[in-house]
Amino acid sequence: MTTGSDPEVSTPRGSSALTDLVVITGFSGAGKSTAMAAFEDEGYFCVDNLPPEMIRSLVDLFMHEGSKVARAAVVSDARGGSYFEGLAEMLEDLRSSGVRHRVLFLEASEAALLTRYKETRRRHPLAPEGSVADGIRRERELLAPVRERADVVINTGQLTAAMLRRKLTDELVPSKTPGRLAITFQSFGFKYGSSRDADVLFDVRFLPNPHYEPDLRPLTGADARVVAYINRDGALDAFYEHLHPMLDYLLPQYVSEGKAHLVVAIGCTGGRHRSVAIALHLAERYAGQPGYVVDVLHRDVGEPA
């Protein structure tokens, strides 16, 4: 793998906010969508399937004084059809004009690409009516001039999506906060259906239910009186004694696996009291720890008590 120029150096046009432009290209099926998602998770302005001429126009827009886009990543590949043939020329124009940019080229062996297409059952953009192998060979010829201009070349044949994301964020995003994981603590009520977004789910219907107390029923888990009721006889504290160590172990494991966003769902009967209290507690606990970006979502708290 070869590395490109330092993205922290500003462009010659000092009025521009753009400090890093990444052009992602390469073989269909080599992981360009995964790469774009990795940059997007790091705060890059991302555009997929952009023809070369539109990249030029987008860069001109970013170079205007007052642009708020500091980092951008665009994907341009064979899906652009005949327009894609102008990518090599466009990259040469960017270099000659002094625009700071990096070209990320993703490739894989023909065998690896064939396996991926077989798994997804997708048609190759250069052989919609023919064989995938024919499309790969045609794409190889089309990409040759672009590969020569690449700053970074990565062979993804032996990489999982998680491994590729981790490699990109570790090596190509200098401002990345190591181990950053976006966590959403979601409360919900099983009576309205289970959480469809959950990566980790806890059923807390075994805890005391404030719903059966008339004075507490209209309140939510954000109220201290509700929390105190749930914790009667120390039931909630006892639960946290087991839950905290489990999450303290799990979260770093997801980070090391390359996961960028994790949804931890907590479900009770109505999604108003117990699950809300626990989601708020966990959000407060992990928001203060380095390496995590924490959000809270109460799916069903607005439902009638």
Higher pLDDT, 173 or 267: 267
Strand, coil or helix: 64: coil
Query: What span, in angstroms and rounded, lies between the C-alpha atoms of 173 and 221?
Result: 39
Structural tokens at position 190:
């099983």
Overall pTM surpassing 0.75 (yes/no): no
Residue type, 145: P
Per-residue tokens: 12: 């010659």
The single-letter code of the amino acid at 259 is K
Highest mean pLDDT among 49-63, 183-197, 201-215: 201-215
CA dist 4 and 127 (Å) reads 32
pLDDT, position 239:
98
Q: What is the CATH number of domain 20-171?
A: 3.40.50.300
Place of tokens 């639960």: 239
Q: Which of 36, 17, 14, 29 is nearest to 172 (CA)?
A: 36
Helix axis angle, 110-120 relative to 132-148, nearest 10°?
130
d(CA 87, CA 94): 11
Element of type H or E holding 155: strand 152-155
**Beta carbons within 8 Å of 68's beta carbon, 6+ residues apart:** 17
Q: In what order do the strands lie in the sheet with 20-26?
A: 45-47, 71-75, 20-26, 102-107, 152-155
Question: Does 284 have pLDDT greater than 80?
Answer: yes
**SS3 per-residue string spanning 67-78:** CCCCEEEEECCH
Bigger pLDDT: 198 vs 78: 198
12-26 mean pLDDT: 71
pLDDT value at position 82? 58
**Each residue's pLDDT tens digit, 289-298:** 888 888 899 9
Lookup: tokens for 112: 């690896």
| pLDDT tens for each residue of 20-49 | 889 999 998 888 988 998 888 888 899 998
pLDDT at 78 over 90: no
Rounded CA-CA distance 263/189 in Å is: 15
| Interval 225-235 mean pLDDT | 96
Nearest-angstrom CA–CA distance, 4 and 29 = 23
How far is C-alpha 289 from the geometric centre of its chain's CA atoms? 20
Residue 120's pLDDT is 65
Which tokens in the block code for residue 45? 């302005």
Domain limits of the chain? Answer: 20-171, 181-298
pLDDT digits (tens, 9 = 90+) for 158-201: 887 877 887 887 778 755 455 578 899 999 999 999 998 899 99
Q: What is the pLDDT of residue 128?
A: 66
How does pLDDT run across 238-252, given as a tens digit for each residue?
Answer: 999 999 999 999 999
Mean pLDDT of 143-170: 85
Query: Cβ contacts of residue 197 below 8 Å, gap of 6+?
Result: 184, 186, 263, 265
To the nearest whole number, what is the mean pLDDT of the chain?
84
Q: Higher model confidence: residue 220 or residue 135? A: 220
Regarding predicted confidence, which is higher, 85 or 182? Answer: 182
- How far are the Cα atoms of 6, 18, 95, 238, 296 from residue 102, in angstroms, in the given order? 9, 13, 10, 52, 36
Residue whose structure tokens are 């990444």 = 22
Count of CB atoms within 10 A of residue 78's CB? Answer: 20
Instruction: Considering only residues 72 and 236, tell me which one the structure prediction assigns the higher pLDDT.
Output: 236
Q: Tell me the Ramachandran region of residue 49: left when phi exceeds 0, alpha when psi lies from -120 to 50, beta otherwise.
A: left
